[in-house]
Amino acid sequence: MAWDLIGHAWAEELLKGHIRRGAVRHAYLITGPRGIGRRTLALRFAQALTCEQPPAPGEACGVCRNCRQIARQQHPDLHIVRRAEDTRVIKVEQIRALERLLALTPRAAPYRIALLLDFEEAHPSAANALLKTLEEPPPHVVLLLTAESAEALLPTVVSRCEVLRLRPLPPAALAEALQRRKGIPSQEADFLAHLSSGRPGYALRLHEDPALLESRAEALENLLALLPADRIRRFAFADEASKDRTALLSLLAVWLSFWRDVLMVASGAPSALTNVDYRPRLEALAAAIAPEQALTVVQALLQAADDVEHYVNTRLVAENLMLTFPLIPHSSFLIPNP
Q: What is the CATH number of the domain that holds 143?
A: 3.40.50.300
Per-residue pLDDT reduced to its tens digit, 114-164: 999 999 999 999 999 999 999 998 999 999 999 999 999 999 999 999 999
Average the pLDDT over 178-205 and give the result.
95
DSSP secondary-structure letter at 81?
Answer: E
277 in the same domain as 187: no
Q: What is the pLDDT of residue 270?
A: 66
* Percent of the chain with pLDDT strictly greater than 90: 87
Domain boundary among 130, 165, 200: 165
> Do β-strands 162-165 and 141-147 pair in parallel, antiparallel, or remain unpaired?
unpaired
- CA proximity to 145, closest of 137, 134, 132: 134
Q: What is the pLDDT of residue 70?
A: 97
189 in the same domain as 132: no
In a domain, 2, yes or no: no
Q: What's the number of domains the chain is made of?
A: 3
127 in the same domain as 26: yes
* pTM of the predicted model over 0.85: yes
List alpha helices for the chain, DSSP H: 9-20, 38-50, 65-71, 92-102, 124-135, 155-158, 171-182, 186-195, 200-208, 210-226, 231-241, 245-266, 279-288, 291-309, 314-324
Select the more confidently predicted residue: 330 or 280. Answer: 280
In a domain, 3, yes or no: no
- CA proximity to 131, closest of 148, 98, 156: 156
Are 47 and 67 within 8 A, CB to CB? Answer: yes
Distances (CA, A) of 299 to 254, 256, 257, 292, 315: 14, 9, 12, 11, 18
Distance, in Å, from the CA atom of 137 to the CA atom of 101, rounded to the nearest integer, reads: 12
Mean of per-residue pLDDT scores for the chain? 93
Domain boundary among 110, 132, 165: 165
Radius of gyration of the chain (CA): 22
Q: What is the pLDDT of residue 334?
A: 52
Beta-bridge mates of residue 162: 28
133 in the same domain as 196: no
- Three-class DSSP category at 12: helix
147 in the same domain as 35: yes
Distance, in Å, from the CA atom of 241 to the CA atom of 251, rounded to the nearest integer, reads: 8
Whether the predicted pLDDT of 223 surpasses 60: yes
254 in the same domain as 189: no
Per-residue confidence at 331, pLDDT binned at 50, 70, 90?
Answer: low
Beta-bridge mates of residue 90: 122
DSSP secondary-structure letter at 90?
Answer: B
288 in the same domain as 185: no
159 in the same domain as 25: yes
Q: What is the pLDDT of residue 101?
A: 96
In a domain, 4, yes or no: no
In a domain, 282, yes or no: yes
In a domain, 32, yes or no: yes
- Cβ neighbors of 108 (< 8 A, separation 6 or more) are 50, 65, 66, 75, 76, 77
Whether the predicted pLDDT of 181 surpasses 70: yes
In a domain, 1, yes or no: no
Q: What is the pLDDT of residue 60?
A: 95
Per-residue pLDDT reduced to its tens digit, 227-273: 999 999 999 999 999 999 999 999 999 999 999 999 999 888 766 78
Per-residue pLDDT reduced to its tens digit, 58-75: 999 999 999 999 999 999
- CA proximity to 81, closest of 103, 96, 98, 99: 98
Distance, in Å, from the CA atom of 99 to the CA atom of 153, rounded to the nearest integer, reads: 19
Q: What is the CATH number of the domain that holds 232?
A: 1.20.272.10
Whether the predicted pLDDT of 302 surpasses 90: yes
Q: What is the pLDDT of residue 87?
A: 85
Distance, in Å, from the CA atom of 145 to the CA atom of 116, rounded to the nearest integer, reads: 5
244 in the same domain as 193: no
In a domain, 104, yes or no: yes
Domain boundary among 108, 132, 165: 165
In a domain, 79, yes or no: yes
125 in the same domain as 189: no
Q: What is the pLDDT of residue 214?
A: 96
Q: What is the pLDDT of residue 328?
A: 87
DSSP secondary-structure letter at 30?
Answer: E
Q: Which domain holds residue 108?
A: 9-165
199 in the same domain as 140: no
Whether the CA torsion 28, 305, 261, 338 is positive or negative: it is positive
119 in the same domain as 28: yes
